[in-house]
Amino acid sequence: MTGDHHLNKSSPGLIGLEAIINFSPLPQFVIDRDHKVIYWNKALEEYSKLKASDILSTDKHWKAFYKSKRPCMVDLLVDEDIGSLSYWFSHNFKKSELVEGAYEAEDYFPHMGDGDKYLHFTASAIKDQSGNVIGGLESFEDITQRKIAENDLQESEEKFRSLVENLNVGVYRNTVDLGGYFIQVNQAFARMFGYESTSEIMETKVIDFFLDPSERITFLEDLKKEGSIIDRELHLKKKDNTPIWVSVSAKAHYNEQGTIEWVDGIIEDINHRKISEEALIKSEERYRSIVENINDGFCIHDFEGNIQDCNENFAMMLGSVPEEIIGTNLDEFSSNTMMLEKNNVTGELKKTGIVEFDADLLKKDGNRCYYNIKSSIVSGKNGDKVHSFLRDVTKRREMEEILHESEIKSQKRLAEIEAIYNSAPIGLCVLDRNLRFVRINDRMAKINGFPPEEHIGKTIQEIVPDLAEQGEIVAKEVFETKKKVMGREFNGITPAKPGVLRTWIEQWYPVKDSSNQIIGINVAVLEITDIKRADKALKKSEEKLRLAIEGADAVMWFWNLEKDVFEWTDRYINIFGTNPDPEMSYDDFLKSVHPEDREKVKNATQRVMQYGEDFKVELRTIWPDRSIHWVYSLGRLFYDFQGKPKEMIGIAIDITPSKLAEQELQETLKQLKRSNAELEQFAYVASHDLQEPLRMITSFLQLLQRRYENQIDSDANEFIQFAVDGAARMQELVNDLLTYSRIGRKTGKFEYVNTEDILKQITFDSRLLIEENNAHINYDNLPLVWADYTQMVQVFQNLISNSIKYNEQENPTINISAEKKVNDWVFKVEDNGIGIDPKHRVHVFKIFQRLHGRDEYDGTGIGLAIVKRIVEQHGGMIWYESKPGEGSIFYFSIPQGDEKYEI
Ligand code: ADP
């Protein structure tokens, strides 16, 4: 290699180049023929981060670009090895169009300088004048930004393309004339309309896609007006003429003249949506028609009860129209606010999704109706809603109430029947086929002698063994004949009354099931033990009566009123002295009665017929031998079931002997009365007439005593004294006797007597006696009585003076009181005196009877006899209670009924 061919800085071709290279904004370097770097400009220093000082005069310029040594483009051109270009730079290089003999390429340099650079580089050989290669220049342009942008674009284009191709969205460009052709369509478009390729579409007119060509006209008109159309739904057709719903958005492209050159559009298949929408509409319509046509009320509401929709029926149930109801709340209509909450509707719905409850709603007019409400959750786009169906159950509710009431009634009835069953006065029980007690009432349980519950499940053999055999016989009969057994008499002993033979009348009824099989026996038991006994007793008493009648020599008669015929028992002859006429009538009978008594008999008979009184008559009969006999007849009237008098039954007794005795008695009584009166008269006269001579004896005796007191001896004086005393006592006795006999004779003057006034008078009159004896007389609240005043004074006077007299106490005390007893006032005179010995009981009230000697207590023994007489004259009684040493109580009664006793 010659020096001429060697490039260096002084090489003529490079003069001036240095400055250009060094100051060029483009990174550049120059090598000589030997590949040694002679220029490495500033821009390249910056780019490659390799200093010129490190690179100049070396052949290490590759370091700026590559990791390991390899030729740069300029190296190949300096060696004029064009053939290797394609090896080292693939086919990425080309001849420069601007510089002759230069080559250019673009490449990526991941390790240059800061790394990651795209460079566009141009290399050319530097030749001398004779055309020999003396060196080479390579310069670079940073195209990193452009490359990134290009890559991004490509990527996004790629993405877009695949999107457009892969999306089921048709993209098209077409012309706007009415015929119109497609300029461009994507695969999706072709697929959408059933074409094999996009090119097939290019040969099809746009209008051919329309089912209704007029739609295309409208579409174009709108497009021209607006410039774009968004989401227009069109009904188009596919290649095979099947219709397809699409949504089209289109935009017009205008030329400079402002007319539309083409239209770009996207088209979306909405067939499915449309069909389902149609189906939805249809189903909604169907649903509407169901909802409107069902008899139920229907409403849609949220969980709070806010009504969002409802049918006519629902609105009608509330007495309104849907428009007014929608937007209100269910609770507004409920008489029970918080209806939903109270029924825990939300809770139940959330748990189970469905709930049913009854509620009452108020109509607009205030009427209340009952509804059965079924609610369920329905999920929708806008969240969960509640669908509620309401059925008017007012009628049902009313029926239920009626039913409920009737149930209560029937329960009550059942309870009543049960109570009747239990408390029935007859024994009732149900036995099963084995004669075990299934049911029993209290009465039956009592008959058997065990509590009702102890019977259940036990057999009659176990409960009432004594009756078991009889029961088994009857049960067998019932099972065999399938018929009831009535009025069967059972006799036996039950544990209720051991040892007592009892009798029952029993009815055994078969209990049958629906197939007419006997499943048990219903037993009703009536105890007739007492009736039996009574029956026996009746028979006995009849026998007794018969004996009595016979014994009393009485005769029984039966008078049949209808036939007017008398029947008599066989002792007729004893009373009538002859045998009875079998056809004897009432008139025949009257003929045998004494004519004077016939009227009496007729009257008595009439009273029986008129007032139903018993017939009681004493009558005389005249016997055939003309003798007269007394008869007492007693009879009673009996009626038939219609209440008509049917028969009179009676007895007749011969009372002639007692009648005679009575007559005798009456005679004696008369005589007695007479002699009594005479006696009284005598007593009166005697006592009255005796007074005068007595007074005379007494006064002469007293005269004798006064005149001769000192002239006669003491004995004679004493005798005279005895005579005076005796005469005085005799006078007392005569006086008392007179008083006593007067009581019977004197006709008393009856009036209302205040017994308290009497006591006042007595205590005043006897004040000396009372004071002397330190006596106390107590009385209070004494009544008014209908009596003879003077005699009553005498009664109290005598009793009080006795009480003081027969008293050894410091302070004799007498308490007087009275008590009303039915028709009597009973007076009580109580003292704390010596009392009366029981042995004297019979003597106390007898006249002149004294229980003590005169030396003990003074008295005549007539006081109590007078009291007794007065009390008895007033219709009362007198008695006493006493124990010796414990005082005495004298009682006497004075009648105070309506009947007042007068003497
Ligand atoms: P007399 O008092 O004049 O003897 P009565 O006829 O008044 O006669 O009484 C009869 C008898 O009954 C009396 O003798 C007296 O023994 C007794 N007697 C009457 N009253 C009482 C009395 N209150 N307490 C005790 N004995 C009485």
Q: What's the CATH number where 239 sits? A: 3.30.450.20
Asked whether residue 825 carries a pLDDT value surpassing 70, the answer given is yes
Instruction: Tell me: do 236 and 354 sit in the same domain.
Output: no
Give the model's pLDDT for residue 900.
46
Instruction: Tell me: do 753 and 891 sit in the same domain.
Output: yes
Asked whether residue 736 carries a pLDDT value surpassing 60, the answer given is yes
The residue range of the domain holding 103 is 14-149
Asked whether residue 572 carries a pLDDT value surpassing 90, the answer given is no
Instruction: Tell me: do 813 and 882 sit in the same domain.
Output: yes
Q: What is the pLDDT of residues 486-508, one digit of tens each?
A: 989 999 999 999 989 999 999 99
Give the model's pLDDT for residue 2.
40
Instruction: Tell me: do 705 and 824 sit in the same domain.
Output: no
Instruction: Tell me: do 238 and 341 sit in the same domain.
Output: no
Residue 222 lies in a domain: yes
- The backbone region for 40, taken as left when phi is positive above 0, alpha when psi lies in -120 to 50, beta otherwise, is beta
Asked whether residue 1 carries a pLDDT value surpassing 70, the answer given is no
- In the chain, how long is the greatest CA-to-CA distance? 247
From the CA of 880, how far away is ligand 1's center (Å)?
Answer: 12
Instruction: Tell me: do 669 and 805 sit in the same domain.
Output: no
Q: Going by CA atoms, what residue is nearest to atom 14 of ligand 1?
A: 850
Instruction: Tell which residue, 820, 829, 744, has the closest CA to residue 779.
Output: 829
Residue 593 lies in a domain: no
- CA 533, 537, 539, 540: dihedral to nearest 10 degrees? 140
From the CA of 903, how far away is ligand 1's center (Å)?
Answer: 27
Q: What is the pLDDT of residues 351-392, one digit of tens each?
A: 888 888 888 888 888 888 888 888 888 877 677 888 888 888
H or E segment and range at residue 152:
helix 144-166
At residue 621, what are phi and psi to the nearest 5 degrees?
Answer: -115, 150
The span from the CA of 303 to the CA of 387, in Å, is: 10
Instruction: Tell which residue, 146, 138, 137, has the closest CA to residue 121.
Output: 138
Residue 566 lies in a domain: no
Which is more confidently placed, 288 or 623?
A: 623
Asked whether residue 316 carries a pLDDT value surpassing 50, the answer given is yes
From the CA of 828, how far away is ligand 1's center (Å)?
Answer: 16
> How would you class 756 by CB atoms within 10 Å of its CB: exposed for 0-12, middle for 13-18, buried for 19 or more?
middle
The model's pTM is: 0.35
Q: Give the β-pairing of 243-254 and 260-269.
A: antiparallel
Per-residue pLDDT band at 399 (split at 50, 70, 90): confident
From the CA of 802, how far away is ligand 1's center (Å)?
Answer: 6
Query: Which atom of ligand 1 is least distant from the CA of 864?
Result: 6
Q: Going by CA atoms, what residue is nearest to atom 7 of ligand 1?
A: 863
Task: Give the chain's domain count.
Answer: 5
**Which CATH number covers residue 776?**
3.30.565.10
Q: Give the β-pairing of 813-821 and 776-779.
A: parallel
Per-residue pLDDT band at 901 (split at 50, 70, 90): very low
From the CA of 896, how far away is ligand 1's center (Å)?
Answer: 28
Boundary residue ending a domain (115, 149, 183) = 149
Q: Which residue type is seen at 695?
A: R
Per-residue pLDDT band at 770 (split at 50, 70, 90): very high
Give the model's pLDDT for residue 4.
47
Q: What is the per-residue DSSP string for 680-749?
A: HHHHHHHHHHHHHHHHHHHHHHHHHHHHHTTTS-HHHHHHHHHHHHHHHHHHHHHHHHHHHHHHHHSPP-
Instruction: Tell me: do 755 and 698 sit in the same domain.
Output: no
Question: What three-state secondary structure class fits 101?
Answer: coil
Residue 137 and residue 78 in contact, taking contact as beta carbons nearer than 8 Å: no
| Bridge partner list, 893 | 826
Helix crossing, 714-745 with 863-873: angle to 10°? 10
| Averaged pLDDT, 113-119 | 83
Residue 828 lies in a domain: yes
Helix crossing, 789-805 with 755-765: angle to 10°? 50
Q: Going by CA atoms, what residue is nearest to atom 23 of ligand 1?
A: 803
Asked whether residue 407 carries a pLDDT value surpassing 80, the answer given is yes
Asked whether residue 91 carries a pLDDT value surpassing 80, the answer given is no
Q: Which residues line ligand 1 (CB under 6 A)?
A: 802-803, 806, 831, 833-834, 836, 844, 850-852, 859-865, 888
Query: Which atom of ligand 1 is least distant from the CA of 861?
Result: 8
Instruction: Tell which residue, 711, 712, 833, has the closest CA to residue 775.
Output: 833
Q: What is the pLDDT of residues 513-548, one digit of tens each?
A: 888 889 999 999 999 888 888 888 888 888 888 787
Residue 327 and residue 320 in contact, taking contact as beta carbons nearer than 8 Å: no
Residue 558 lies in a domain: no
Give the model's pLDDT for residue 834.
94
Asked whether residue 9 carries a pLDDT value surpassing 70, the answer given is no
Per-residue pLDDT band at 167 (split at 50, 70, 90): low
Asked whether residue 276 carries a pLDDT value surpassing 90, the answer given is no
From the CA of 844, how far away is ligand 1's center (Å)?
Answer: 7
DSSP-H helix ranges across 449-562: 452-455, 460-463, 465-481, 529-551
Instruction: Tell me: do 258 and 371 sit in the same domain.
Output: no
Asked whether residue 475 carries a pLDDT value surpassing 90, the answer given is yes
Instruction: Tell me: do 876 and 761 sit in the same domain.
Output: yes
Give the model's pLDDT for residue 695.
83
Q: Going by CA atoms, what residue is nearest to atom 19 of ligand 1?
A: 802
| Averaged pLDDT, 720-730 | 83
Mean of pLDDT over the chain:
86
Retrieve residue 746's tokens.
Answer: 């004197």
Q: What is the pLDDT of residues 594-639, one digit of tens each?
A: 999 999 999 999 999 998 889 999 999 988 888 888 999 999 998 8
Retrieve residue 129's tokens.
Answer: 């004048």
Give the model's pLDDT for residue 587.
92
Give the model's pLDDT for residue 902.
45
Go through 87-118 and write b for each residue having 16 or more CB atoms within 10 A of its CB, e for each that does not: ebbeeebeeeeeeeebbbbbbebeebbeeebb
Residue 664 lies in a domain: yes
The span from the CA of 61 to the CA of 309, in Å, is: 86
Cα 254 to Cα 194, 223, 251, 257, 728, distances in angstroms = 31, 12, 10, 8, 184
Boundary residue ending a domain (368, 392, 416) = 392
Q: Going by CA atoms, what residue is nearest to atom 8 of ligand 1?
A: 861
Give the model's pLDDT for residue 229.
93
Which is more confidently placed, 459 or 578?
A: 459
Query: Which atom of ligand 1 is least distant from the CA of 890?
Result: 23
| Averaged pLDDT, 298-308 | 87
The span from the CA of 742 to the CA of 734, in Å, is: 12
Residue 797 lies in a domain: yes
Q: What is the pLDDT of residues 673-714, one digit of tens each?
A: 877 777 777 777 777 777 788 888 888 888 888 888 778 888
From the CA of 718, how far away is ligand 1's center (Å)?
Answer: 29
Q: What is the pLDDT of residues 174-208, one digit of tens each?
A: 988 877 889 888 888 888 899 988 888 888 889 88
H or E segment and range at residue 491:
strand 485-492
Q: Going by CA atoms, what residue is nearest to atom 15 of ligand 1?
A: 851
Instruction: Tell which residue, 83, 101, 84, 85, has the closest CA to residue 93.
Output: 85
Instruction: Tell me: do 56 and 124 sit in the same domain.
Output: yes
Go through 290-323 and write b for each residue having 16 or more CB atoms within 10 A of its CB, e for each that does not: ebeeeebbbbbbebebebebbbebbbbbbbbebe
DSSP-H helix ranges across 432-464: 442-448, 452-455, 460-463
Q: Which residue type is seen at 436?
A: R
The span from the CA of 826 to the CA of 821, in Å, is: 7
H or E segment and range at residue 39:
strand 37-40
Asked whether residue 903 carries a pLDDT value surpassing 70, the answer given is no
DSSP state of 180: -
Q: Going by CA atoms, what residue is nearest to atom 16 of ligand 1?
A: 851
| Averaged pLDDT, 834-839 | 91
Q: Is the dihedral of CA 684, 687, 690, 691 positive or negative?
A: negative
| Percentage with pLDDT > 70 across the chain | 95
Instruction: Tell me: do 710 and 754 sit in the same domain.
Output: no
Query: Which atom of ligand 1 is least distant from the CA of 862?
Result: 6
Residue 440 lies in a domain: no
Q: Is the dihedral of CA 387, 391, 394, 396 positive or negative?
A: negative
The span from the CA of 815 to the CA of 309, in Å, is: 104
Per-residue pLDDT band at 887 (split at 50, 70, 90): very high
Per-residue pLDDT band at 899 (split at 50, 70, 90): very low
Asked whether residue 291 carries a pLDDT value surpassing 80, the answer given is no
Q: Going by CA atoms, what residue is nearest to atom 1 of ligand 1?
A: 861
Mutational test site, ligand 1, from 802, 880, 889, max ligand atoms within 8 Å of CB:
802
Instruction: Tell me: do 211 and 335 sit in the same domain.
Output: no
With vertex at residue 795, the alpha carbon angle to CA 790 and CA 801, rounded to the nearest 5 degrees, is 115
Give the model's pLDDT for residue 644.
87
Asked whether residue 779 carries a pLDDT value surpassing 90, the answer given is yes
Query: Which atom of ligand 1 is least distant from the CA of 845?
Result: 6
Asked whether residue 747 carries a pLDDT value surpassing 60, the answer given is no
Retrieve residue 468's tokens.
Answer: 């078991």
From the CA of 687, how far away is ligand 1's center (Å)?
Answer: 23
Q: What is the pLDDT of residues 544-562, one digit of tens each?
A: 887 877 777 788 899 999 9
From the CA of 864, how far away is ligand 1's center (Å)?
Answer: 7
From the CA of 831, how far away is ligand 1's center (Å)?
Answer: 13
Q: Rg of the chain over CA atoms, in angstroms? A: 78
Retrieve residue 456's tokens.
Answer: 């259940």
